[in-house]
Amino acid sequence: MKKFKKYFVKKMIFPTAFALVIKLVVAAALTMLWNHFVNGEGWFDPISLVLSAVGVLYLLMGWLGFLRLDGVHMPRVFSYKRANKKKVQAGSMADVLNTEPETDDELDVDEKDFSSMASWLTSGIICLIVGIIG
108 vs 104: CA distance, rounded Å: 9
Provide the domain limits for residue 38.
Answer: 13-72+106-134
For residue 111, tell me if it sits in a domain: yes
pLDDT of residue 5: 66
For residue 85, tell me if it sits in a domain: no
pLDDT of residue 6: 66
For residue 61, tell me if it sits in a domain: yes
For residue 23, tell me if it sits in a domain: yes
The answer to whether 128 touches 56, Cβ cutoff 8 Å, is: yes
Mean pLDDT score of the chain? 78
For residue 118, tell me if it sits in a domain: yes
Instruction: Give 102's DSSP letter.
Output: P
pLDDT of residue 21: 93
CB-based burial of residue 27 (10 Å sphere; 0-12 exposed, 13-18 middle, 19+ buried)?
buried
Model-wide pTM > 0.75: no
Candidates 18, 19, 53, 51; CA nearest to 32 is: 51
Which residues of the chain carry a pLDDT beneath 50? Answer: 1
Residues counted in the chain: 134
For residue 128, give every residue at least 6 positions away whose Cβ sits within 8 Å of its Cβ, in sequence order, or none: 51, 52, 55, 56, 59
pLDDT of residue 124: 94
32 vs 103: CA distance, rounded Å: 30
What are 68-106's pLDDT values in tens digits?
Answer: 888 877 777 666 666 666 655 555 555 555 555 555 667
For residue 48, tell me if it sits in a domain: yes
